[in-house]
Amino acid sequence: MNHKFSLIALLVGIAFLTPAAAQNVIKLNMSDIYFQWRPLPKGSAMCGYSILGNHLSRDNPKTEWDINIDEIVQGDNRAIGVSAGTFTVQDKKRTPRPPITEISFTTQDDPVPVEARLLGTNAYNDIRAALDFDRGTNLIHSISEDRQIVATLKYGDGTIDILKFEGFRDTRKFGGGKNSPFEECLRGLTPHVSKYNMRPLP
């Protein structure tokens, strides 16, 4: 009996020492991942990926995530940016969730988190952020090659979402690598990709 109470006391003590942040692990569908680009003048490009997590779910209410990871090229200047927001949706009305305070990514090829540097937010708690260029390039390469990605989002109320998803799947016979839609976009070409997995931006 004493051994039992000692074990309970130990577990209670561990509970007090453990961070209270709730972690939600969500597996996204392949159909939530889109290639996106914006036509720009020669010498410039905006190419990347949009993760529209849970948008196709018919649940009511439900949670949606919007994450965009884009490389922007203007002549010799190149940068990789992130924008993200998350919402509770009920009866098609989107209500912003608490503000994102941190966002990072790990990949199947690199377990060290790629941490985004937050630059600003808006009234809907959407954030803008920047990635280290070299590590951001590796992240985009992993997405382009259909590797496994984990996005970790931390919020102002102390909760954490962990989104797991597979990268973009180029189903063309000679797609991938230097022929991936992302690389075509960077070269100033119009990407060739299924209309169901692309988002040309205005």
What pLDDT score was predicted for residue 197?
57
Per-position b or e across 46-71, b if 16+ CB within 10 A of its CB: bbbbbbbbbeeeeeeeebbbbbbbbb
What pLDDT score was predicted for residue 179?
73
Radius of gyration, CA atoms only, the chain: 20
Strand-by-strand arrangement of the 23-27 sheet: 23-27, 160-166, 148-155, 100-107, 114-115
What pLDDT tens digit does each residue of the chain (202 aa) get?
444 444 444 344 444 444 445 688 899 998 899 999 887 777 788 999 999 999 999 999 999 999 999 999 988 899 999 999 999 999 999 999 999 999 999 999 899 999 999 999 999 899 999 999 999 999 999 998 889 999 999 999 999 999 999 988 776 666 666 777 888 888 877 776 655 455 555 4
Q: How far apart are CA 145 and CA 39, in angstroms?
A: 23
What pLDDT score was predicted for residue 122?
92
Pseudo-torsion of CA 195, 75, 117, 104, nearest 10°?
Answer: 40
What pLDDT score was predicted for residue 175?
63
What pLDDT score was predicted for residue 103?
98
Which residues is 10 bridged to in the sheet? none
pTM: 0.82
Domains annotated on the chain, with CATH: 21-200 (2.60.40)
